[in-house]
Amino acid sequence: MRASIKQTLDAATERLRDAGVEDPRRNAELLLADLLGVDAGGLFLRRGTAMDPNLARRYAGWIERRAHREPFQHITGRQEFYGLSFRVDRRALIPRPETEGLVDAVLNLSLPDHGRVVDLGTGSGCIAVALAVSRSDLGVCALDRSDEALVLARSNARALGVERRIEFRRGDLADPPSEWRGSIHAVVCNPPYVSEAEWAELEPEVRDHDPREALVPGPTGLEAYRQLAPAAFALLCDGGSLVLELGAGQAAEVTELSQAAGFRKMAIHPDLNGIERVLVAEKPAADHEQETR
């Protein structure tokens, strides 16, 4: 006799609980709902329905992967970001909800029509693609030093209809293309900011599956900011803005690094948990710099 959906969920929940997965019931339900192509309500209504044997085998495989602490998003192959569905895998960092604040911050800038925005370290392309979808007039450039990440980012842009409006380039965030210098209206970046000590304490879903280079820049977690601030300053036109994601507790130090690079008019925006998460800094006009000396 075939197990019902409820019985299948009960067994999956126990397997995930035994494996130490946080909120095992929700994980089991979300995976099964994704597999069946239904929402939570649809899953509830089908709870007495017998599981199809082929789907049951596939679901069992998904549960084992999750029990071995593979991220939910890698199993389903998707993550929603800024209301858009992105393909995700080991090639790039899984987009986080707090990173949506970077997109909001850029869109809230007084960017000119057909302004130019550079996303340094684009990863999955989530920031660049969300900006291109949100404002069709923007010229968006996406830079990453990983060829594999760029392939993923380009495929996401293609799937969401904006591939032709984004310039994808290979390069390091500390040394972006020289031809961009002085012509960019906004630089946005979610840099690696996890310290070596913090990385060792991360949950297996992050530590063992997200690319380490997308998380850890060095011992302190501030190394990328030290390189990024002067590089971004050189890219921006007068009055242009730098928009950065911050690690918890890093706002004061990153503000100092940005000021040392020449930025002014700093603003810090908290995320939904009240953590100082986004820094917006402005490159002053050349005449303003001369007046303040």
pLDDT at 219 over 70: yes
Q: Both 149 and 209 in a single domain?
A: yes
Q: Both 60 and 98 in a single domain?
A: no
Q: What is the pLDDT of residue 290?
A: 47
Q: Are 186 and 114 in contact (CB under 8 A)?
A: no
Q: What is the pLDDT of residue 291?
A: 47
Q: For the chain, count helices (H), then strands (E).
A: 13, 9
Q: What is the pLDDT of residue 122?
A: 98
Q: Are 212 and 143 in contact (CB under 8 A)?
A: no
pLDDT at 166 over 70: yes
Q: Both 101 and 15 in a single domain?
A: no
**Does 145 fall in a domain?**
yes
Domain of 119, in residue numbers: 78-292
Domain final position from 22, 48, 68: 68
Q: Both 44 and 113 in a single domain?
A: no
Domain final position from 68, 100, 115: 68
pLDDT tier for residue 288 given thresholds of 50, 70 and 90: low
For 104-133, write each residue's pLDDT tens digit: 999 999 999 999 999 999 999 999 999 999
- Residue with the bigger pLDDT between 212 and 288: it is 212
What is 133-185 written as a DSSP string? HH-TT-EEEEEES-HHHHHHHHHHHHHTT-GGGEEEEE-BTTB--GGGTT-EE
Q: What is the pLDDT of residue 153?
A: 98
pLDDT tier for residue 285 given thresholds of 50, 70 and 90: confident
Percentage of residues of the chain with pLDDT beyond 90:
93
Q: Both 11 and 147 in a single domain?
A: no
**Does 115 fall in a domain?**
yes
Domain final position from 47, 68, 89: 68
Q: How far is CA 236 from CA 25, 70, 180, 282, 287, in A?
A: 48, 39, 8, 9, 15
Place of tokens 């293309």: 177
Q: Is the pTM of this model over 0.75?
A: yes
Q: What is the pLDDT of residue 135?
A: 97
pLDDT at 293 over 80: no
| Beta strand 139-144 pairing with 236-245 | unpaired
Q: Both 242 and 121 in a single domain?
A: yes
DSSP element (H, E) containing 116: strand 116-120
pLDDT at 292 over 60: no
How confident is the model over 234-259, as a mean pLDDT? 97
For 26-40, write each residue's pLDDT tens digit: 999 999 999 999 998
Q: Both 125 and 11 in a single domain?
A: no
Q: Both 83 and 64 in a single domain?
A: no
Q: Both 40 and 144 in a single domain?
A: no
Q: How far apart are CA 133 and CA 159, in angstroms?
A: 12
Q: Both 122 and 236 in a single domain?
A: yes
**Does 225 fall in a domain?**
yes
Q: Are 175 and 147 in contact (CB under 8 A)?
A: no
For 66-85, write each residue's pLDDT tens digit: 999 999 999 999 999 999 99
**Number of domains into which the chain is organized:** 2
Q: What is the pLDDT of residue 156?
A: 98
For 169-208, write each residue's pLDDT tens digit: 999 988 999 999 999 999 999 999 999 999 999 999 999 9
Q: What is the pLDDT of residue 287?
A: 60
**Does 270 fall in a domain?**
yes
Domain CATH for 224? 3.40.50.150
Mean pLDDT score across all residues of the chain: 95
